[in-house]
Structure 1
């Protein structure tokens, strides 16, 4: 019974951690990384698809990205999707490829990005804490049904708190790593 609660809670918290990681991957740093374009959706063949499904993205050097369309007819749509994104990048089209120069970040922009990272991490920590709350409610529900003892309730709550602390700590570690990456000149 309690093991099910732990397993379920741990799995959901792992998803929250994964969501934090993917959110951070799409936040721009001074370096060109293909993951920067992961959130971009492109309108092709009458449907909206992720950029990865209609083009390959690589970084030939640390300052630019090269987007190669699988079908040359989709280059215009890809360019438009990049221009209208919140990344502030200016695409240069050359045949079936699009080159993106990643300008170095200003000090002010770096600080804004760090604030954004902290805001996003706080949202994910709140999600983890909500999961803890749900797990503790489930434990209390088991106690009401009489399936577990008072000692098991206490141990269960402590175990859920340990799991929560573990994931909050991992999110904090992601934040400090991303902050270092952003502030690196």
Structure 2
């Protein structure tokens, strides 16, 4: 829309907030093994920091085990060090060029901490959605002030922006409640 707000842009930015939230949730450990748990780990390789996925193949052979197959034998120690120093609480077992990472059972206190972290991620996503809404509303106010759109059209478009925001926040809340149930499941 040349006058008023570009709803496709607002929709795209709100979906970006949801996707970032999904990525954050995927990195939370729920007691089941997932290759996403190692996503935040950076390995010092060939003179620079690289994501672990660029120096090894990550697989999940069983529900409580992650297997990391390092491609270059000289990188095994660096990958092992990066996993141990990642503050994720993992203790890999080196077996040739493969690292096996057993996942211990989560205790109740750790589960509650993970739920708090998930709530923080959700609040960050909600704030991002509200920022997008604010930008859209500011754009509408400016367009109305400049005379590009009428007051009625501004109100109609404001309602659309608010509906997009409400839908985005309800999606974030439903993703959060699903993850919370997954974390607390024993």
Using the size of structure 2 for normalisation, the TM-score is 0.97
- The equivalent residue for 2:70 is 69
Contact 2:4 2:140 in 1 (8 A): no
User: Is 1:28 matched up with 2:25?
Assistant: no
Tell me, in whole angstroms, the C-alpha distance in 1 between the residues paired with 2:81 and 2:16. Answer: 32
User: How well do the aligned residues superpose, as a CA RMSD in angstroms?
Assistant: 1.0
- The equivalent residue for 1:156 is 157
Instruction: State the 1:7 CA deviation.
Output: 1.1
- Count matched residues: 185
Tell me, in whole angstroms, the C-alpha distance in 2 between the residues paired with 1:72 and 1:173. Answer: 44
Tell me, in whole angstroms, the C-alpha distance in 1 between the residues paired with 2:59 and 2:178. Answer: 23
The 4+ residue runs of structure 1 with deviation greater than 4 A are: none
Using the size of structure 1 for normalisation, the TM-score is 0.97
Tell me, in whole angstroms, the C-alpha distance in 2 between the residues paired with 1:155 and 1:49. Answer: 48
Contact 1:17 1:167 in 2 (8 A): yes
Instruction: State the 1:2 CA deviation.
Output: 5.3
- The equivalent residue for 2:100 is 99
Contact 2:115 2:180 in 1 (8 A): yes
Deviations 1:18-77 (A, max 9, x none): 100000011111101111101111110001111111111111100110000111111111
Instruction: State the 1:5 CA deviation.
Output: 2.2
Instruction: State the 1:87 CA deviation.
Output: 0.7
Contact 1:2 1:156 in 2 (8 A): no
Tell me, in whole angstroms, the C-alpha distance in 2 between the residues paired with 1:52 and 1:3. Answer: 44
- The equivalent residue for 1:167 is 168
- The equivalent residue for 2:177 is 176
- The equivalent residue for 1:115 is 116
1:42–1:2 distance in 2 versus 1, CA, 3 Å = farther
